[in-house]
């Protein structure tokens, strides 16, 4: 059974600081997603990582994937208040989009 | 943009009622999914469908059923609602082996 663990589950950051959210998963995977969810809203796809060593960046967010370590990271650079949201990683084992989600990381950026 | 539309944002139902949650997508996607979201648990897959009239159980199908009579519509059915089914329900769709990036806005169901 695939398990996906995110940490930390809650992160309070000061604006301008850097931090990393970790996503560990228990079995081999073909595809890993990162999503953002604002309060009361649906999920917004941030990144899809498809291969070992994949790195993707969008603005202040950078995601990477190490399939050998079964680890993905979401790095936040120079955080701003607008990044406050809940971030989920999700792992797809079969290219069928049967995703297993982590519990989510609640990020609060304080000015 | 793909739109995944869930018919209700908020629902309040009584224990034992039969509840229908409707989801419609407008981009001819083959795959449709129902998830429930609970704090601290992330999203968990209830049922999914790869084609009309096809359905497969996800990780937590107990107490739920689904219907997919048309490609664009995927319904989640709570046969006899219980208080432990109080949750946020999210529908999603995707194209074949494409990325899953289309989610509905969610239905917050409260069972009293």
pLDDT digit string, tens, across residues B11-47: 999 999 999 999 999 989 999 999 999 998 999 999 9
Task: Give the mean pLDDT of A11-34.
Answer: 92
Cβ-based burial of A78 (10 A; exposed 0-12, middle 13-18, buried ≥19): exposed
3-class state of residue B84 by DSSP: helix
Q: Is B60 part of the contact surface with chain A (CB cutoff 8 Å)?
A: no
- pLDDT mean over A20-29: 92
pLDDT, one tens digit per residue, over A49-92 is 988 889 999 999 999 999 999 999 999 999 999 999 999 999 98
More confidently predicted of A1 and A59: A59
Residue A77 CB contacts under 8 Å (≥ 6 apart), including other chains:
A18, A60, A61, A62
Q: Does the pLDDT of residue B2 top 90, yes or no? A: no
> pLDDT value at position A59?
96
**A92 contacts in chain B (CB < 8 Å):** 100
Q: How far is CA B39 from the centre of its chain?
A: 17
Whether the predicted pLDDT of A93 surpasses 90: no
Chain A interface residues (partner B, CB cutoff 8 A): 4, 6, 9, 31, 33, 41-43, 45, 48, 88, 90, 92, 95-104
Residue B92 has a pLDDT of 94
**Which of B44, B59, B101, B106 is the best substitution to test chain A (most A C-beta atoms within 10 A)?**
B101
User: What pLDDT is stored for residue B96 in this prediction?
Assistant: 76
Q: How confident is residue B109, by pLDDT bands cut at 50, 70 and 90?
A: very high
What distance in Å separates the CA atoms of residue B102 and residue B57, rounded to the nearest whole number? Answer: 20
Q: What is the pLDDT of residue A95?
A: 61
Residue A30 in this model has a pLDDT that exceeds 80: no
In whole numbers, what is the pLDDT of chain B averaged over residues? Answer: 93
End-to-end CA distance of chain B: 36
Nearest residue, CB atoms, B42 vs list A41, A88, A97: A88
CB-CB under 8 Å, B44 with A101? yes
pLDDT for the residue numbered B90: 96
Chain B CB contacts of A47 below 8 Å: none
From A29's Cα to the closest Cα of chain B, the distance in A is: 14
Give the three-state DSSP class for B22.
Answer: strand
């Amino acid at each position: 059974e695939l398990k996906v663990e995110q940490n930390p589950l809650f992160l309070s950051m000061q604006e301008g600081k850097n931090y990393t959210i970790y996503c560990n998963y228990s079995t081999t995977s073909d595809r890993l997603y990162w999503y953002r969810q604002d309060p009361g809203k649906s999920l917004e796809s941030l990144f899809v990582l498809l291969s070992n060593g994949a790195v993707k960046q969008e603005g202040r967010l950078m995601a990477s994937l190490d399939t050998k370590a079964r680890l993905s990271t979401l790095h936040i650079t120079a955080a701003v208040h607008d990044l406050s949201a809940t971030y989920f990683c999700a792992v797809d084992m079969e290219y069928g989009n049967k995703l297993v989600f982590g519990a989510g990381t609640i990020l609060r950026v304080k000015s | 943009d793909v739109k995944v539309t869930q018919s209700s944002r908020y629902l309040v139902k009584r224990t034992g009622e039969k509840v229908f949650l409707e989801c419609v997508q407008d981009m001819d996607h083959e795959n449709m999914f129902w998830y429930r979201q609970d704090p601290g648990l992330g999203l968990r897959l209830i049922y999914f469908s790869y084609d009309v009239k096809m359905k497969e159980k996800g990780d937590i199908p107990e107490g739920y059923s689904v219907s997919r009579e048309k490609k664009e519509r995927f319904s989640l059915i709570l046969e006899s609602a219980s208080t432990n089914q109080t949750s946020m329900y999210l529908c999603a769709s995707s194209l074949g082996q494409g990325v899953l990036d289309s989610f509905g806005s969610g239905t917050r169901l409260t069972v009293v």
